[in-house]
Amino acid sequence: MTRLAALLGLELPLLQAGMGAVAGPALCAQVSRAGAGGTLALYKEPPARAARLVREVAAATGGRPFGVNVVPEVTGAARCLEQLRAALPELPRNGFVTVFGLPADDAARAVRAAGHPLVVQVGTPADAGTALARGAAVLVLQGVEAGGHLLGGRPGDSLLAAVRARHPHAVLAVAGGIATGRDLADAVARGADGALAGTLFVPAAESAAHPEFKRRVVEAVAEDTVVTSLFEIGWPRRPHRVLRNSLTAATERAPAAFIATTRVDGRPYPVPRYSAAAPGAATTGRVEEMAMYCGRSCTRVTAAHPAAATVARIRREYEEARALHDGSHTIPPRVPPVPGETT
């Protein structure tokens, strides 16, 4: 039992990332039922639909804790607060709220006033300090190895060491490079209280990702990912790690024409080339040209299983690795450290 697991009421100190187009109600519920921290992505959801989705998850989790994720950098502070005001009354008492990037003061206050732990994902030591000052109960430290939009440019090990030195009593989870129970145990041995994983759950049976997205993650290795700023429509000025495709390989930028269509609540929405949107199960069109966010941990994500089976495997591997650690007082690194990357 780590401080992260104790604080959030989890059996395993692992959070599932709140990935737009991936982390829907089914994935969130199954991860939570298995004993980890399932997270529902609210992303750009209208407040009324956000509330409905939270109710749906709450009915499916069997009373286990789960979280909701908001992204104020994308929605804007006002819309983020509207999402929270709609979702918080529907969130069970043992639920938590995760924020990608720094929340505004009023959003942080709303979460704390509702009595839920505030989990803030950051990518720099400075932002870690700001998040704690705004009332974060947990910090998720995102390393440059992670898939998706990057909040900093430091490797996860370096960021963890820096933040732990500045804030020795903070509850810290790491994001980036987590695909096995051994990875999780390594992170705890280095001073983390747990971890957050996204790429690991993209291929899950309950994931809302497009089948081609799932297939590519399972078949990818770390070198198939690249940090780019190409997929900026809808989320500008934030580098992101994606799987390489024809657009990342091109020497010239193609027209930002509509290349796909996705559906939300049965309504079609066009997707332009270079959109930040990831392909979901309801997406049709040139899916192969869309942003498929993927971390370097994909090398160790080699199959698609139900989320509960994935969590059970992680738990078994984690317990075995922790037993080894308790006996030897150290866990040798499973793989060489990933060098930092410039963006």
The CATH architecture one would assign to domain 3-206+302-328 is Alpha-Beta Barrel (3.20)
pTM of the model: 0.94
Convert the pLDDT of each residue in 138-180 to its tens digit: 999 999 999 999 999 999 999 999 999 999 999 999 999 999 9
Domain range summary for the chain, segments of one domain joined by +: 3-206+302-328, 211-298
Mean pLDDT of the chain: 95
Asked if the model's pLDDT at residue 331 lies above 90, the reply is no
- The secondary structure of 178-204, three-state, reads CCCHHHHHHHHHCCCCEEEECHHHCCC
Q: Which structure tokens are listed for 149? A: 């939009």
pLDDT at res. 266? 84
User: Could you give the CA distance from residue 145 to residue 299 in angstroms, rounded to a whole number?
Assistant: 12
pLDDT at res. 325? 74
Other residues' Cβ atoms within 10 Å of the Cβ of residue 11: 14
DSSP 8-state assignment for residue 233: B
Using CA atoms of 169, 170, 173, 177 in order, give the dihedral in degrees to the nearest 10.
Answer: -70
Distance of CA 226 to the CA centre of its chain: 18
Crossing angle for the helix pair 105-113 and 77-87, to the nearest 10 degrees: 10
Other residues' Cβ atoms within 10 Å of the Cβ of residue 265: 8
Convert the pLDDT of each residue in 222-276 to its tens digit: 999 999 999 999 999 999 999 999 999 999 999 999 999 998 888 999 999 999 9
Q: 236: exposed, middle or buried (C-beta count within 10 Å: 0-12, 13-18, 19+)?
A: exposed
Q: 161: exposed, middle or buried (C-beta count within 10 Å: 0-12, 13-18, 19+)?
A: middle
User: Could you give the CA distance from residue 339 to residue 23 in angstroms, rounded to a whole number?
Assistant: 29
Give me the percent of the chain exceeding a pLDDT of 70.
95
What mean pLDDT do residues 278-295 have?
A: 98
User: Could you give the CA distance from residue 193 to residue 261 in angstroms, rounded to a whole number?
Assistant: 40
Asked if the model's pLDDT at residue 328 lies above 70, the reply is no
**Looking at 43-47, 218-222, 282-286, 335-339, which range is the least confident one?**
335-339
327 pLDDT tier (thresholds 50, 70, 90): low
